[in-house]
Chain A
Amino acid sequence: MKEPMKDSMRDLKLRKLKNKLFHMALVLSALIVIAPLFLVVLYLLGKGASGVNLDFFTEIPKPVGEPGGGMLHAIVGTFIMVTLGSLISIPVGILAGVLLSEFEKGPIQTALRFATDLLAGVPSIVIGIFGYLLVVVPFKSFSALAGALSLSLIILPIVTRSTEEILKLVPNHVREAGLALGIPRWKVIFFIIVRGSLSKLFTGIILAISRAAGETAPLLFTAFGSLYLSYNVKEPMASLPVQIYNYAISPFDDWQAQAWTAAFVLILIVLGLNLTARLVFEIKDYKRK
């Protein structure tokens, strides 16, 4: 009787050892997963933060060789194209999300959900080609408009999906209460359900916008980029991501330094938007409790 007892003790020790090893492996993996975030942010901070000065935000690039110059044109360009893209896709995306969540399944809804999923999975470079074929080819010129349209296709599926998910969280009795008051359904949907979820919808929208602000591939051959400040949407327009790309692969040291600074500014914008959106969501959630 003694032998098996000993065996099971040894067995237990082995099992406990395995448990501990596994635990350590989990901690180690977690560290490895998180590490790149800090490596990237700290490296950007080290390389790019020193280049942030007033000139960077108020001047356009100087010719090669001349020191100084900034990226006003790219910041303005990113702002214009992201705003235009959002203006197109946010209303459309929200309405599509409403159709998916508030109305019973029909052939159009099924096709729309499929289309949205498909669109969300389309590589951004392919969306760029679409923008090129749709706008650049017929107008025979790279243009900010083509860039904005491509960005809108990046934003659209994210907004549609998040709207659908968020509206589905609204309990049914809210809809019933509205309908019981004799309010027409479309008013119940837009003035009670959508309006009541606005802050959560806002979170999804901001996340989509921050995603679009960092996109490069769809702008490469739609907006193309430029070295001058331009407000004309029918002309090529610079954007921070494309500018980073062009400067990073250039052979000039001061251009590469500018690329670092631009990347630092871009990541501040993107992570800032992201954190703001998530914080708004958290606070609203907290208040409700």
Chain B
Amino acid sequence: MKENLPIDKAQKNFDSSGSSPLLSYKSQDKLALYLLKGIGLFIIFILALMIYLLFDMSSLALKEYGLTSFIKTDWWNPVEDEFGALSFIYGTLVTSAIAIVVAAPLSIAMALFLTVVLRGALAKFLGLLVELIAAIPSIVFGLWGLFYLAPWVKNSLTPFLKTTLGFLPLFQGPSFGIGLLTAGIILAIMITPTITSLTREVFKAISPLQKEAALGLGATKFEMIKIAILKPSLSGILGACVLGLGRALGETMAVAMVIGNSPVISKSLFAPGATMASIIANEYAEAEGELHLSALCLIAIVLFLVTFIVNFVARMVIWRNNRRVKK
């Protein structure tokens, strides 16, 4: 004990020397940690509050219809207070599906182009351009879609699709420009940056040794990409696409402006429709009557749950892929 005394004293002196802190360093750190934890708890609380308020508000519609019949009914009539979300779920799924089908191959190709073909400054510049697409506000895409893309779809794309693929029920019927297809294309443009940058990360994680080995065996660049890049990153690419899908599901303004906003289910992709997000944007501010508001809130919860599940799945896939690649 006696040997320890000088050190104890030194410690005491150190603690109370100079500016003589009110608290020892240890308690200062503890206090800081408590404060940060408090902030963390606050954020968690806000999220919990969000979920609670949404459920609270939608409980009226939930009681009236029940969740399963609400999402199975395609009848939406605010005047008669009859609400079902099926047509919006359909619109959301169809537009997101178009977006993924169009965006996934292009984004993967873009990511390959940026990691394998291009190098240095040019790749950096093109990468920056792709990220700038992500920075364009949704409302601007909507405006552009309404006045530029929709007429283009009506006058150029529709006739082309009708002559080449017109035998499918998907591409029949009149086109007004605004509709599911246009919304899907806008969404595709909006999610390419997400998928591209995530896929790029996946490709970057692959060890260069693998590529060199493939090339050294006499593979062409195309074969090298197939064997050494695409194959091992398949699950990572899948995760990136699912995350892109998650973005497409919740996208609001651009879709609301070009989809036509009519709660119908039609086989034709040229037909107008509505998505869960777009119906909320369109009707919430003008909704009269508790039940209408409540039904819109219930749609928000369905949307919330769907995006949550999709994002969760994507994160799991990417996380597992990264762990596998790093091994």
Contact = CB atoms under 8 A, between A and B. Distances in A.
Interface of A: 15-16, 18-19, 22-23, 25-27, 29-30, 32-34, 36-37, 39-40, 43-44, 47, 92, 95-96, 98-99, 103, 108-109, 111-112, 115-119, 121-130, 132-134, 153, 156, 160, 182, 184-186, 189, 210-211, 213-217, 220-221, 224, 241, 244-245, 248-249, 259-260, 263, 266-267, 270-271, 274-275, 278
Interface of B: 14, 25, 28-29, 31-33, 35-37, 39-44, 46-47, 49-50, 53-54, 56-57, 105-107, 109-110, 112-114, 117, 126, 128-133, 135-144, 146-148, 189, 192, 196, 220-223, 225, 246, 249-253, 257, 277, 280-281, 284-285, 296-297, 300, 303-304, 307-308, 311, 315
Contact of B107 (A23, A33, A112, A248): A33
Secondary structure dominating the interface of B: helix
Contacts of B139: 214, 216, 241, 244-245, 263, 266
Given A126-B54, A184-B29, A220-B284, A34 B246 contact: no
A29 B110 contact: yes
Given A18-B222, A29-B113, A40-B140, A185 B40 contact: no
Given A96-B43, A126-B304, A134-B49, A33 B110 contact: yes
A124 B280 CA distance: 11
A254 B57 CA distance: 39
Contacts of B113: 26-27, 29-30
A99 B54 contact: no
Contacts of B308: 118, 121
A139 B36 CA distance: 31
Contacts of A33: 106-107, 109-110, 130, 133, 192, 196
B140 A184 contact: no
Contacts of A217: 138, 252-253, 277, 281
A22 B222 contact: yes
Nearest to B314: A121
Given A33-B133, A210-B135, A221-B285, 8 more contacts: A99-B40, A213-B137, A214-B137, A241-B139, A245-B253, A263-B140, A263-B143, A278-B131
Contact of B112 (A26, A32, A40): A26
A220 B137 contact: no
Given A37-B133, A126-B303, A244-B139, A99 B29 contact: no
Nearest to A93: B43
Contacts of B53: 130, 133-134
A220 to B, nearest CB: 6
A122 B250 contact: yes
Nearest to B103: A33
25 contacts: A19-B223, A23-B222, A26-B117, A34-B126, A34-B129, A34-B130, A37-B129, A39-B144, A99-B37, A116-B43, A121-B246, A123-B250, A123-B251, A123-B252, A125-B250, A125-B252, A130-B54, A133-B57, A134-B53, A186-B29, A211-B135, A245-B253, A249-B257, A263-B143, A274-B132
A22 to B, nearest CB: 4
Contact of B148 (A43, A95, A126, A132): A43
A15 B140 contact: no
A267 B137 contact: yes
B307 A112 contact: no
B132 A98 contact: no
A185 B54 CA distance: 40
A121 to B, nearest CB: 4
Contact of B257 (A119, A248, A278): A248
B252 A16 contact: no
A160 B129 CA distance: 25
Contacts of A224: 285
A29 B196 CA distance: 12
A224 B281 CA distance: 11
B138 A44 contact: no
Contacts of A275: 132
Contacts of B296: 129
Contacts of A184: 25, 28-29
B46 A37 contact: no
A119 B47 contact: yes
Contacts of A121: 246, 250, 307-308, 311
B281 A15 contact: no
A215 B253 CA distance: 9
A61 to B, nearest CB: 18
A61 B125 CA distance: 39
